[in-house]
Chain A
């Protein structure tokens, strides 16, 4: 197991390097000019200086190398400095956003909590709803509950978030006026009233995201339960006279959770990056909105860094899912 993990970790380094190179080359083709916003009265030689200050004058491979160094060497130093008060990174150039001229990672850190709160809550809520639904619809296959569950998850698959989001806005904030349609990120929770307000503004985005995730997870849970319910060991357990509750919730559930846990792990990167559309609908200024804004403003270092962070998360959680699978299911041996 350990050797497998180490081998996969080592293998993921070239993968990630290749992905970063691909993203970099794709962005290299960008037609936009970061100097487009600068007024025409600025003389061309000053513009040229500004361009060089952004690191644009050098050839492609040097800029790529610089980005690699900044991202993998300088940013971790900044992190260490931040926590331990050391001064490793003093004087070295960090990845700078062209939009705000401030370090990209600082902005990412600022935006992270909103995304984590909204999307993370949705994920937890979805897991809590999806697992019981999946278990019960597998246990009572083809009952009306199962049919309803199938239909609801089909709807969850089919209704895109930009429609369900707008729909709940129409119903709950335009017609009923219960919840605000725009997520207020400056809101500080310090009392019971402000906590209720925070809950109110979180309900709609969480609802929309949770519907989607629930649809997928409950299908997975159901299929995995069905695979196990007809196995011989279940019959043995029943024949031994174990109660139905113990058979289903202990014997079957534990075995059925193996693939579901890995699916849950695989979905975690989407907590950070996937909810781009939902964030856009409810105006949550999280990571997704940051990316959209950066793309529209031609802020290449920001786009490069964000896309790469998403790629790192995907690769990392793929690895975690594989390792989890090996730990949970002793039949699987990678070595």
Chain B
């Protein structure tokens, strides 16, 4: 018996995700964006436990105050603490962004996989996607806000109702890019040998999709997820800014900005905080997506 030339590998095998992480780390903007995004999310969700002033607590005597130790961001025209309102608003905005993104992602991947995998469904589903892309989205969103606000408010209560409405309408109007990208990738992967091998041993379609196709289209899905958060947050803020989003006593960043424009002359800094929060969140998410795209692309990785 001759000895094997290389009996034991000297280095442990590296998983794919370790490579991705290495590439991601080397993209400084993406790393900073990711850290900033996590920081913002942590602040808006965990902040209220530390800063325990109620966002809706009215203290009319200390209204319109500038920044102080008691109120680091000042107070608004009803004496409500701006820091607490920013955190409460951020929690809503980020929740809307995450949930709407998940919905759009689910719809987009579902339609994309179906269209890519089943040839019969490809034509109709892609025509549907084209049709949705041809719709004027912002006007339609505004119309949907107007139409379904009252029935949903009556069923789920004013806050739950509007949350469901905004998440659903953003989700329904932003799944198309994901569907197109996923379809393209599925079409390419479907023809590869490993899929044929899996099919030849009798793997049913459902397992073929969940075991072999989906893990391979994960990277475009993840990239469109990050970009989806950004668009969802901006869309929600735009709706709130146009006065068709959440009700006035329920702060979101867009709503806070909208309320602050009335006091633009006297207290311009009030506009600054929510606007800055929206912009920073979206900027960090965009950088995160940029880095993820590079990290998940094996052609760029390792260079």
Residues of A within 8 A of B (CB): 15, 18-19, 22-23, 26-27, 29-32, 154-155, 157-160, 162-163, 166-167, 169-170, 174-175, 269, 273-274, 276-277, 280, 291-292, 295-296, 298, 303, 306-307, 310-311, 314-315, 318
When C-beta atoms are compared, the residue in chain B nearest to A155 turns out to be: B283
Beta-carbon nearest neighbor of A273 in chain B: B136
**Cβ contacts under 8 Å, A167 to chain B:** 271-272, 275
From A291, which residue of chain B is reached at the shortest CB distance? B139
| Partner among B142, B278, B286, B287 whose Cβ is within 8 Å of the Cβ of A160 | B278
A291, B136: Cα distance in complex, Å = 12
Contact B282 A157 (CB under 8 A): yes
Bound together, the chains give a CA A158 to CA B281 distance in angstroms of 8
A280 to B243, CA, bound (A): 11
The closest CB in chain B to the CB of A18 belongs to B131
Main secondary structure of the interface of B (DSSP, over half): helix
- Chain B: minimal CB distance from A129 (Å): 20
Once A166-B261, A314-B134 are accepted as A-B contacts, the answer to whether A27 and B143 lie under 8 Å apart by CB is: yes
- Name 15 extra pairs, CB < 8 A, besides A15-B131, A162-B275: A19-B131, A27-B147, A157-B282, A157-B286, A159-B275, A160-B241, A162-B254, A163-B278, A174-B264, A276-B138, A276-B242, A292-B142, A295-B142, A310-B136, A318-B134
Q: Does B39 contact A (CB under 8 A)?
A: no
Q: Known A295-B146, A307-B136; judge A154-B264 contact (CB<8 A).
A: no
Which residue of the partner chain, among B134, B143, B254, contacts A315 with CB atoms under 8 Å?
B134
A306, B142: Cα distance in complex, Å: 13
Interface string of B223-266 (1 = CB under 8 A from A): 00000001000100110011110000000001001100100110
Count residues of B near A (Cβ-Cβ below 8 Å).
Answer: 44
Given A31-B150, A155-B283, A166-B271: A277 and B238 interface contact (C-beta under 8 Å): yes
CB-defined contacts of A175 to chain B, threshold 8 Å? 268
Q: How far is the CB of A322 from chain B (nearest CB, A)?
A: 11
Q: In whole angstroms, how far apart are the Cα atoms of A311 and B135 in the complex? A: 6
Complex Cα–Cα for A280 and B258 (A) = 11
Knowing A18-B131, A295-B146, the reply to whether A274 touches B275 (Cβ < 8 A) is no
Q: Which residues of B contact A269 (CB under 8 A)?
A: 136
Let me know if A30 and B257 touch, CB within 8 A.
no
Which residues of chain B are near A32, meaning CB under 8 Å?
146
Residues of B within 8 A of A169 (CB): 264
